[in-house]
Amino acid sequence: MEQLTNTGELLRAAQDTASPSLELNDDARPNSADPHKSWARLTEAPLDPVTLKRHHILTSKPNNKSAPYDQLRTRMLSHMRVAGHRRVAIASPTAGCGSSTITANLALGLARQSDLRIMVLDLNLRQPSLIHLFGLEEAGPRFSVLTGSKRNFDSTCLRVGENLGLSLNATPVNDASERLSHTNTAELLDHVEREFVPDVILLDLAPLSPMDDALAALSLTDCALLVARADHSTNTQIDVAERTMAEHTTCLGVVLNACRFAREYGNG
């Protein structure tokens, strides 16, 4: 079972250096002719509650198990609003920390706020997993890897309900860093902001080590969360990853995953 601990302390807000408060409303967003039409043309895909539960996706409805993710969601939104951020990356020091599971839980938790539009992009191109976590292997149109094509994005992005978009991949690629560094990728994210006007774009990234895929993607973001796993990540790995992340974007803080004994771990 995935567990989050100490979310109140693990998110840092850079209050002294933050930009003036910016509400996430239509007046402050990029120009778009009609985002409602853009969302309406996406293929709708229902999610199976049994599959979500089996993959530890617990936030489609408010409950005791969703509470830690809901606290993380609310604090993250608060910090993003202060700084005027919309693109937030979720990354980990190494593989196996549960960053994709946290991304999926944040996505559904955010989508419960009907006044928000949420877009999720799986940018872990070498080992995409969100499509599996959401149980959408056989649903919707044919999925394809990120190519920088606006038409490709619009035809393969799925919509859950009225306000959650999922751009997922089923096929791994080996040249992930090169694709993410290409100008087409930056232009595609600009297209998403302009046409769909999301309040939050969640970007699920590859681990920060050993490949450089996450570094290439971090330059496209406004801020990021680092997900570490208590029974897997070492203090050194967390420190190095946090410093690396801070060199490329605003690091909101570290989320400690699967920690049953937070005090003992922190003292160790």
Question: In this model, does residue 232 exceed pLDDT 80?
Answer: yes
pTM for this entry: 0.84
Q: Are 101 and 133 in contact (CB under 8 A)?
A: yes
Distance, CA of 191 to chain centre: 18
Which helix (H) or strand (E) segment holds residue 10: the answer is helix 7-10
- For 161-209, write each residue's pLDDT tens digit: 999 999 998 888 889 999 999 888 899 999 999 999 999 999 999 999 9
What distance in Å separates the CA atoms of residue 120 and residue 100, rounded to the nearest whole number?
11
pLDDT band at 150 (very low <50, low <70, confident <90, very high): low
CA distances from 224 to 76, 124, 144 (A): 10, 15, 25
- For 203-221, write each residue's pLDDT tens digit: 999 999 999 999 999 999 9
Record the tokens describing residue 49, joined without a space. 């509650």
Average pLDDT over every residue of 128-139: 87
Residue owning tokens 């209050």 = 15
Question: 59 in helix, strand or coil?
Answer: coil
